[in-house]
Structure 1
Amino acid sequence: MSTAIPDLPILGADDSMLSRKFGHEVANYFSGSPLNRVSFLRTDHAFLNAAFAHPSASFLLLDNYSPLAKDTTTLAYVSKEDIIPLTGPEPFKKTEEEQIKSFNSAVTQPIVLFLGLDERKTGFRYREYKGNPYFAVDATPKGSIEEKARRVIEAVKAKQGVLFVPGGRLLTLNAPEAAIYAQARALLDWNARNPFCGGCGERTLSINAGTKRVCPPTDLAEVPEGGEPRTRADCPTRRGISNLSFPRTDPTVIMAIVSSDGTKLLLGRNKRYPPGWYSTLAGFLEPGESIEEAVRRETWEEGGVKVGRVVIHSSQPWPFPANLMIGAIGQATPDGETINLGNDPELEDAKWYTFDEVREAMSISAIGFGDAVPEGEQRQLRIPPQTAIANRLMAAVIEGYLGASPKM
């Protein structure tokens, strides 16, 4: 019923004080990348150049966030030779200072992300660091690279057995590659959403292998060849140490709410859900709000239910576009279980379901967010698949997570 997803990262059998008291750590889909990000090397252009040029390097292509794959479960990677027509042979040749000095806002540069090193394979070495390099490349046809990108996409698609897997929420990949895809998708989305500076409105430049954006002080756009670059207007983001923009992560609470007597779960239904589909409630944290407060506020605003004790269960990266789902379990107060949808019209319906009803729903073949419900099963309770943290929170509750005695 609730067998763990194969290959999810689970800490080895450790006998630490924390594991004895609180149980084993819980891992969720989209976490547990097999790559060591070595994030401190993203500014080392000698490292990036060597990693990009090495024969062991693997490149994941994405077209409008759809990854290249062998099928819906397995990603497909291409070689340096496949992407050079788009990226050029040395996309990391220039240092940050040189990139800023030669910035031309009229020229579209393809985003090439350094994702990390797979230390299980040691074909590449740089100082004391070793492991095959992994990159992601945005091959979306746009701007001045539109034709180059189209040619690369068509050439890759012509190879037998690969395709760009569409879908707004890709939840079918094997767990390790889902984590790689999540990292790539979130970073490419962030770059695409931040082409302009928040301080002056001018175009920004992606540096540090796709993980930082800056507002250059000059621009070569519309400058005759050999001419001096145009000086841009003064910008607050270039003063002091604030001349940067880093990728954002939006914290979101998602909670399994248990009835006061510990026998039922509160599930809600959004009008966008497939027929019969219910899930746990969720919402964004607000400034100056703790996780526990957000769980209580969102549950009351969306469902009218008042929550007492809240415990944090686990978390899940959710790259659609940049959320961190903080999973919690809360318990309704004895006098606060009445459902009221009149505060916030976000939910179409909300109900209390018994543990047995949730168990039965878990035994039915799961359907994804955009999947059609089989004929004749429209009235059955449906819940999100195991790849969603909502499912894992429900499973934790009905399997006795709240009733387990601490291991001393």
Structure 2
Amino acid sequence: MPQPELPEPAHAEVDSMLSRKFGREVANYFAGSPLNRLSFLRTDHPFLSAALKHPSTSFLLFNNMSPLAKDPTQLEYVKLEDVKPLIGEDPYSKSEKQIIEEYNSTITIPQLLFLGLDESKISGFEHDIYHGAPYFAIDVTPKGTIKLKAEKLIEIIKSRGLQFVEGRMHMSLPAPQAAIYAQARALLDWNARNPFCAGCGQPTLSINAGTKRTCPPTDMASITEKGAIDSTIVGEPAKDRPDCVTRKGISNLSFPRTDPTVIMAVLSADSERVLLGRQKRWPPLWYSTLAGFVEPAESVEEAVRREVWEESGVKLGRVVIHSTQPWPYPANLMIGAIGQCIPGGEEIHLKHDPELDDAKWVSMAEVKEALEVGTSGLGEDAGPDYKEGGLRLPPRTAIANRLLTAVTGGFLEEHSHAPKM
């Protein structure tokens, strides 16, 4: 499958001291969203209500985290009339305070996200000084009290020849769509994984247009002695829920998590070779850069050195940051770095952490050739010029590819395209 174009760096045409010194910014796949998220308006229900109802508004549907699409290279959106049977006339007709006061844990509320405005589109939608085409995402996975409505909606959508594209990763979308997909998937996944309060174990409620979860103080459902949940009688007051630490002092609401992960291209001390590793589950000949999670009270540079040593035994000196990549599987931020071995620290052994099946030093020439002819997604065929038995590397939509492209191309020189003064 052809690899999509990558997002354009922000303001690449603007000359500045930083661009002249460090080259233009690198934008990786899943970044470069066309949407202005307007995060400060997520509690403004009149704004959200108007955006929801505007004719230009697009809704991206997900079923079990699979996005609605025409095919793997093109997302598909629906309109409000399509989703009204599931979400109702206006989920934002009441204030956030009222919604919390009327919380009923027996009722399944479809997860709805406000993603932002595409300000590049002249849509007619305006709010104060903000304008553009609104975008929302909805989880239509059949479950709970919305199961039948969701199943009917999915059936109608599929009758139009559309599909929910399954698969662990969707890296064949055009870059702007990939960024919208990444934002929606990460938030929907976070909401789905956090249905209960970490403080008291009670069910939580999604608020702030899908970007916070709160533990309501009351519930319109009653819990029997056996633990079964029954709907309250109409007109009966809401029952107080158990005390919760999240409601005391500074409100400790649940926010979406982002897990910082380092991924690094490692150079030999003489800058002539690159360290590559492979996991046991990968097909033969497939290699990539090393990666791992940043731990608490650890700098990015320390994490890079620690992970490389733990996984390969190699010891690093200087570490620099190259670029970053959102990775919504489920909530990682890949921090791309380049590190260089200290003299005498290049010996490879896999005795510390058994995560890798193999690690090896590869010449710059071999990496360059693989970047030209041997890249693709896992399990996909390489290009027509690939020679059987050659090195295989990740596609250019992966930050690992971008890091390897940088080190084989001279790093700063490769990206120094800013105009000179």
Q: Normalising by structure 2, what TM-score?
A: 0.92
Q: How does 1:309-388 map to 2 (within 5 A)?
A: 309-371=318-380, 379-388=389-398
Give the Cα–Cα distance (whole angstroms) in 2 for the partners of residues 94 and 350 of structure 1.
57
- Say whether residues 1:54 and 2:64 are aligned partners: no
> What is the deviation of 1:374?
9.9
- Partner of residue 141, structure 2: 140
> What is the deviation of 1:84?
0.8
- Partner of residue 174, structure 1: 174
One-letter code of the match for 2:12?
Answer: G
- Say whether residues 1:234 and 2:243 are aligned partners: yes
- Partner of residue 200, structure 2: 200
* Residues 404/64 of structure 1: CA separation in 2 closer, same or farther (3 Å cut): closer
Secondary structure at the counterpart of residue 345 of structure 1: coil
> What is the deviation of 1:146?
1.1
Match of 2:407 among 394, 397, 407: 397
One-letter code of the match for 1:8?
Answer: E
> What is the deviation of 1:288?
0.6
Query: Contact 2:6–2:27 at 8 Å: present in 1 too?
Result: no
One-letter code of the match for 1:146?
Answer: K
Give the Cα–Cα distance (whole angstroms) in 2 for the partners of residues 395 and 366 of structure 1.
12
- Partner of residue 158, structure 1: 159
Match of 1:254 among 263, 288, 291: 263
Give the Cα–Cα distance (whole angstroms) in 2 for the partners of residues 48 and 365 of structure 1.
47
One-letter code of the match for 1:207?
Answer: I
Secondary structure at the counterpart of residue 361 of structure 2: strand
Give the Cα–Cα distance (whole angstroms) in 2 for the partners of residues 355 and 8 of structure 1.
27
Secondary structure at the counterpart of residue 307 of structure 2: helix
Q: How does 1:268-279 map to 2 (within 5 A)?
A: 268-279=277-288
> What is the deviation of 1:62?
0.6
> What is the deviation of 1:94?
1.8
Q: How does 1:19-34 map to 2 (within 5 A)?
A: 19-34=19-34
One-letter code of the match for 2:155?
Answer: E
- Partner of residue 186, structure 2: 186
User: How many residues are aligned here?
Assistant: 405
Secondary structure at the counterpart of residue 213 of structure 1: strand
Give the Cα–Cα distance (whole angstroms) in 1 for the partners of residues 135 and 332 of structure 2.
23
> What is the deviation of 1:77?
0.5
One-letter code of the match for 1:268?
Answer: G
Give the Cα–Cα distance (whole angstroms) in 2 for the partners of residues 73 and 100 of structure 1.
39
Give the Cα–Cα distance (whole angstroms) in 1 for the partners of residues 28 and 117 of structure 2.
22
One-letter code of the match for 1:62?
Answer: F
> What is the deviation of 1:379?
3.2
> What is the deviation of 1:241?
2.3
* Residues 25/84 of structure 1: CA separation in 2 closer, same or farther (3 Å cut): same
Give the Cα–Cα distance (whole angstroms) in 2 for the partners of residues 111 and 13 of structure 1.
39
One-letter code of the match for 1:313?
Answer: H
Greater displacement, 183-192 / 377-386: 377-386
- Partner of residue 214, structure 1: 214
> What is the deviation of 1:272?
1.6
* Residues 150/372 of structure 1: CA separation in 2 closer, same or farther (3 Å cut): farther
Query: Contact 1:302–1:346 at 8 Å: present in 2 too?
Result: yes
One-letter code of the match for 2:33?
Answer: S
> What is the deviation of 1:12?
2.7
> What is the deviation of 1:351?
0.7
Q: Normalising by structure 1, what TM-score?
A: 0.95
Give the Cα–Cα distance (whole angstroms) in 2 for the partners of residues 12 and 20 of structure 1.
11
Query: Contact 2:110–2:140 at 8 Å: present in 1 too?
Result: yes
Query: Contact 1:138–1:188 at 8 Å: present in 2 too?
Result: yes
Identity %: 62
Query: Contact 2:72–2:172 at 8 Å: present in 1 too?
Result: yes
> What is the deviation of 1:378?
6.5
Q: Residues 92-112 of structure 1: CA distance to partner in whole angstroms, max 9, x if unpaired? A: 112111111110111110011
Q: Residues 214-252 of structure 1: CA distance to partner in whole angstroms, max 9, x if unpaired? A: 000111122222111121110000112224111111000
One-letter code of the match for 2:407?
Answer: V
Greater displacement, 196-205 / 234-243: 234-243
> What is the deviation of 1:277?
0.9
> What is the deviation of 1:8?
3.3
One-letter code of the match for 1:144?
Answer: T
One-letter code of the match for 1:401?
Answer: F
Query: Contact 1:253–1:283 at 8 Å: present in 2 too?
Result: yes
Give the Cα–Cα distance (whole angstroms) in 2 for the partners of residues 30 and 245 of structure 1.
24
Greater displacement, 304-313 / 232-241: 232-241
Query: Contact 2:61–2:67 at 8 Å: present in 1 too?
Result: yes
Query: Contact 1:8–1:29 at 8 Å: present in 2 too?
Result: no
Give the Cα–Cα distance (whole angstroms) in 1 for the partners of residues 172 and 82 of structure 2.
26
> What is the deviation of 1:73?
1.3
Q: RMSD in angstroms over aligned alpha carbons?
A: 2.1
Give the Cα–Cα distance (whole angstroms) in 2 for the partners of residues 74 and 174 of structure 1.
7
- Partner of residue 102, structure 2: 102
Give the Cα–Cα distance (whole angstroms) in 2 for the partners of residues 57 and 370 of structure 1.
37
Query: Contact 2:23–2:415 at 8 Å: present in 1 too?
Result: no
The unaligned stretches of length 5 or more in structure 2 are: 222-229
Query: Contact 2:375–2:383 at 8 Å: present in 1 too?
Result: no
- Partner of residue 118, structure 2: 118
One-letter code of the match for 1:381?
Answer: L
Query: Contact 1:200–1:235 at 8 Å: present in 2 too?
Result: yes
Q: How does 1:53-92 map to 2 (within 5 A)?
A: 53-92=53-92
Secondary structure at the counterpart of residue 90 of structure 2: coil
Query: Contact 1:296–1:307 at 8 Å: present in 2 too?
Result: yes
Give the Cα–Cα distance (whole angstroms) in 1 for the partners of residues 308 and 362 of structure 2.
16
> What is the deviation of 1:129?
1.0
Greater displacement, 363-372 / 317-326: 363-372
One-letter code of the match for 1:259?
Answer: S
The unaligned stretches of length 5 or more in structure 1 are: none
Give the Cα–Cα distance (whole angstroms) in 2 for the partners of residues 258 and 229 of structure 1.
63
Q: Residues 111-136 of structure 1: CA distance to partner in whole angstroms, max 9, x if unpaired? A: 11000001112321112111010000
One-letter code of the match for 1:148?
Answer: K
* Residues 405/86 of structure 1: CA separation in 2 closer, same or farther (3 Å cut): closer
Query: Contact 2:32–2:176 at 8 Å: present in 1 too?
Result: yes
Query: Contact 2:374–2:393 at 8 Å: present in 1 too?
Result: no
Q: Residues 33-56 of structure 1: CA distance to partner in whole angstroms, max 9, x if unpaired? A: 001111111000000000001111
- Partner of residue 289, structure 2: 280
